[in-house]
Structure 1
Amino acid sequence: MPGRRGPVAQAAQDGPRRGVPHEGPHAEAVMGWLREDLRVSRKQRHTAKRVHERLVAERGFEGSYETVKVFWGETAECVCCYC
């Protein structure tokens, strides 16, 4: 369809989304949790809900669950491709 942009093109044009921890200390923590999850069984891995709970409790994150869910899905997909 002409004029329709995919998610990557949309993100590139719109810039970083507000509230999503794409860079900085929150992103580093989430990436560390994801790397740890690669070593454990599927049932023991973090869910987006648990990631949000940990970010709020341990790191004072003020963003919404929805932003973490989107970031977690994108990040997990990218990291798991390189296993």
Structure 2
Amino acid sequence: MGADRSYAYGAAAGLLGDLLLGDPQRMHPVAAFGRAAGRVERALWHDHRGWGALHTLVCAGGATALGVVAARAVRPSFTRSAALTAAAT
């Protein structure tokens, strides 16, 4: 039950923060992901389906792995779990 509440509180705090602050003008997380994906694409690009699949795996897998590691790191703490959810939201 604690995890459900931390996610709910974190999502609500993230939504409120977004409404009050809006998107950051500098260092937007989605823009950072796009730049990283562009670098990975330049390093891996070949006109072949397998290389495209590898690019997708590296980008989506990397983002997923980062989320899993962060969630496991804050799991014992209700406050940290809610803060991570708010930041991700």
TM above 0.5, yes or no, is no
Q: Which has the larger radius of gyration?
A: 2
Q: Comparing both structures, which one devotes a greater share of its residues to helix?
A: 2
Q: Tell me the TM-score normalized by structure 2.
A: 0.28
TM-score by length of 1: 0.29
Structure number with higher relative contact order (C-alpha < 8 Å, ≥ 6 residues apart): 2
